[in-house]
Amino acid sequence: MPLVTSSEMFRKAYEGGYAIGAFNVNNMEIIQGIVNAAKQLRAPLILQVSAGARKYANQTYLVKLVEAALIDSDLPIVLHLDHGDSFELCKDCIDNGFSSVMIDASHLPFEENTALTRRVVDYAHSRDPAVVVEAELGRLEGVEDDIRVSAKDASYTDPGQVEEFVTRTGCDSLAIAIGTSHGAYKFKPGQKPELRFDILEEVARRLPGFPIVLHGASSVLPQYVETINQYGGSMPDATGIPESMLRKAASMAVCKINIDTDLRMAMTASIRQYMSLNPSHFDPRQYLGPARQAIEELVNHKIVNVLGCAGKA
Ligand code: G3H
Ligand code: 13P
Ligand code: ZN
């Protein structure tokens, strides 16, 4: 099956009250772990590539690995640019086989965000086949591509702006800020995790049927924190979004849930444990094999317990 866009996936997810997992990919083992889980559960998939992943792996290698995933599975798969920060970057991905891009101009004033998003949408939609565009309103706290957004610069999405933004830009999905954040330290020690479901509800009321995206949606599962800390790592006070909140969001207008930190932690926990227990091993396949398996188990868990998209491929 060729790459697909997310249009049909999101329409079904919205109607069915579930969400599609958008997993960040950086190398072969990560892609294989994710695809193996999705194959077993017949789950639709979004594989997303950040600017940092392009820099690390070389975009061509990642595109070819995703093409291999299409051959290896008969799943509907979207290849998506995560957090594109310029027209040129989005255009490069569109021209080189991505079926979906995100233009993240959420740090710019409203008019500039609207203008840049519109420019990317015009280009993406004019392709044959058309490429879809995710945009963002509101700003998440945390680290992306080595840029830290502080709590004071983060801001919730203003529901009063969403209709005008979506109408004027023509974007296909909208990422909003309701209290999630990137990375492994989402809430301060002792802070009660909270998401602004009232904002999500109001956005959904103003944009009926329109797919909403949640970034910064890793749960930072305790078993990975414990294993990392047990085997020589140090992740003090790591916290994530409770899975019950993500399930609730998925049952509402949220059709795409972004997960990267949980993949990183599953892989790191596995490698730390393996290295510690097998100090004389030096064949990368010996520790990357279990790391790939750890990714598969994590994605299986997400599909079944958080996203609800098993059997929807
Ligand atoms: O939102 C950011 C993703 O976790 C990607 O992270 O830019 O370090 O590849 P990265
Ligand atoms: P996490 O850091 O919570 O995994 O968020 C990933 C993300 O939003 C990628 O765009
Ligand atoms: Zn993100």
Per-residue pLDDT of the chain (313 residues; tens, 9 = 90+): 899 999 999 999 999 999 999 999 999 999 999 999 999 999 999 999 999 999 999 999 999 999 999 999 999 999 999 999 999 999 999 999 999 999 999 999 999 999 999 999 999 999 999 999 999 999 887 766 666 677 666 799 999 999 999 999 999 999 999 999 999 999 999 999 999 999 999 999 999 999 999 999 999 999 999 999 999 999 999 999 999 999 999 999 999 999 999 999 999 999 999 999 999 999 999 999 999 999 999 999 999 999 999 999 9
Q: Which residue's CA is the nearest one to ligand 1's atom 4?
A: 260
Distance of CA 210 to the CA centre of its chain: 18
Per-residue model confidence (pLDDT) at position 75: 97
Our mutation pick for probing the ligand 2 site, out of 26, 147, 215, counting the most ligand atoms within 8 A of Cβ, is 215
- Domain 7-183+198-217+241-260+301-307 is found in CATH 3.40.50.300: no
Both tokens assigned to 253: 């207008």
Identity of residue 33 = G
82 is catalytic: yes
Per-residue model confidence (pLDDT) at position 1: 86
Q: Is 136 in the pocket of ligand 1 (CB under 6 A)?
A: no
Alpha-carbon dihedral sign for residues 242, 306, 52, 281? positive
Per-residue model confidence (pLDDT) at position 146: 61
| Nearest atom in ligand 1 to 146's CA | 8
Please name which of 245, 250, 246 lies closest in space to residue 312, comparing C-alpha atoms. Answer: 250
Q: Where are the domains of the chain?
A: 7-183+198-217+241-260+301-307
Per-residue model confidence (pLDDT) at position 151: 67
R_g over Cα of the chain: 19
Per-residue model confidence (pLDDT) at position 142: 76
Residue 82 and residue 50 in contact, taking contact as beta carbons nearer than 8 Å: yes
Q: What is residue 161's DSSP assignment?
A: G
Separation of 46 CA from ligand 1 center, angstroms? 15
